[in-house]
Amino acid sequence: MRDLSIKTPLYALAAVVAVPIAVLFYSAGPVGIASSFEDPQFISSLGLTMLGASIAAALNAALGTPAAYALARGLIRGEGALYDLLLSPVSIPHTVVGIMLLIMFSPASPLHYLLGSLNPLDTLWGMILAMFYVSAPIYVMSMREHFERSDLEMERFLGSLGMSPSSIFYSVILRGSLGSIARISLLSMGRAISEFGSIVILAYSVSMAPLFYYVKPATVLIWYKYDVYGLSAAVGYASALLVVTLILSLLAYLASED
């Protein structure tokens, strides 16, 4: 009885997550999902999204890994405040993120003279900027937890032999964390793929010759299909995108824990 009471919320939560997924797949059916993957509009949209999310994930790994290590080891004064700042995009509504990023480059911005020549609107890099902004906190938070679990005694030993924190990080820790970096990069890539609020403002339809001509990112395409043609038109695309994100989650699960 006691076991049941402690497990019930877990089963309830799992059901809340799993049932809508199952119902969506049931509604689309295998044919609906397969036909989405054969639709050139969806394929370009997915290609654009995957390209942007991969670059955002790579940026996360390049910048977020050393940042998370510095935070985990308290190498920076005021790291608590810095960590809260890095995490803040999690609680900023993503449409607000879109407006924030867009206005930063507009003539209304105090940074206009510096950034005015860069126009993120409907560009690949604008989409990547939005994806990076919303996925970086998840990457930094997860990597920080990974570093906090790793062996401090080993780092004390190496430090006492004269290795600086940077040298310990780049020569030893990084190599031992490749599995976690892969796993958490895939999770952050999944978060980047699922972004909608800021992307619909910043990169509604992206052109980048010769690869993309007025291509909507996948989440925007699904919303567009739903808004213009109704629920039935969006279900196939939604299921197909869900398949992609579930594959990413599976790969993240399979990536070693070091």
> Which residues contact another protein (rule: CB under 8 A)?
151-154, 156-165, 167, 171-172, 175-176
149 or 156: CB nearest another protein: 156
256 by Cβ neighbours in 10 Å (0-12 / 13-18 / 19+) ranks as exposed
Considering the complex, what minimum distance in angstroms separates the CB of residue 77 from another protein? 13
Read off the tokens for 106.
Answer: 């507009």
Residue 157 or 214: the one with the smaller Cβ distance to another protein is: 157
Q: Is-contact 158 168, C-beta < 8 A? A: yes
Q: Which is nearer to another protein, 157 or 229 (CB)?
A: 157
Least Å distance, CB 87 to another protein, is 27
3-state secondary structure at position 209:
coil
Q: Put residue 74 in one of left, alpha, beta given phi > 0 → left and psi -120 to 50 → alpha.
A: left
The answer to whether the beta carbons of residues 35 and 236 sit under 8 Å apart is: yes
The letter for the amino acid at 70 is A
Q: 3-state DSSP: the chain helix, strand, coil percent, rounded to 5?
A: 80, 5, 20
Residue listed under structure tokens 């480059």: 105
| CB-nearer residue toward another protein: 180 or 188 | 180
95 vs 171, beta carbon nearer another protein? 171
Shortest separation between residue 139's beta carbon and another protein, angstroms: 22
Whole-angstrom distance, CA of residue 80 vs CA of residue 139: 17
Q: Using DSSP, state whether 208 is helix, strand or coil.
A: strand
d(CA 146, CA 185): 13
**Of 189 and 255, which CB lies nearer to another protein in the complex structure?**
255
